[in-house]
Amino acid sequence: MIRRCTNCAKLLAPFTVTCSSCQSDILEWVPSSGEGSIVSWKVLHRASNGHCGKWELSIITIVELDDGPWVYTTIKGDAPPPSNQPVRVRFESEPTNDRFPVFTIHTANGRHADRRPSPEHRLASDPACTQSRTHMKTDTAYGSAWIRSSLNQCDFLEAAKSVDADARSVIEFAIRCAPFGGASADELLVAFGVTRWRFVKMIGEALRPRAGDSRTARALKCNLLDALTWGWRVYPDSSASHARV
Q: Of all residues in the chain, what percent carry a pLDDT higher than 90?
A: 10
Cα(152)–Cα(156) distance, integer angstroms: 6
Instruction: Judge whether 12 and 19 are in contact, CB under 8 Å.
Output: yes
Task: Return the CA Rg of the chain.
Answer: 20
* Amino acid sitting at position 237: D
Most confident of 33-47, 138-152, 214-228: 214-228
Looking at the DSSP bridge assignments, the partners of residue 43 are 59
| For residues 79-95, average pLDDT | 75
Give the pLDDT band (50/70/90) at residue 173: very high
Sheet holding 11-12, edge to edge: 11-12, 2-5, 27-30
Examine the pLDDT at 179 and tell me if it is beyond 80.
Answer: yes
Question: Model pTM greater than 0.85?
Answer: no
Give the residue among 75, 62, 84 at the shortest CA–CA distance from 105.
75
| For residues 41-60, average pLDDT | 68
| Count of beta carbons in the 10 Å neighbourhood of residue 187 | 14
Q: What secondary structure, in 3-state letters, does 128-180 show?
A: CCCCCHHHHHHHCCCCHHHHHHHHHHHHHHHHCCCCCHHHHHHHHHHHHHHHH
φ and ψ of 102, to 5 deg:
-100, 135
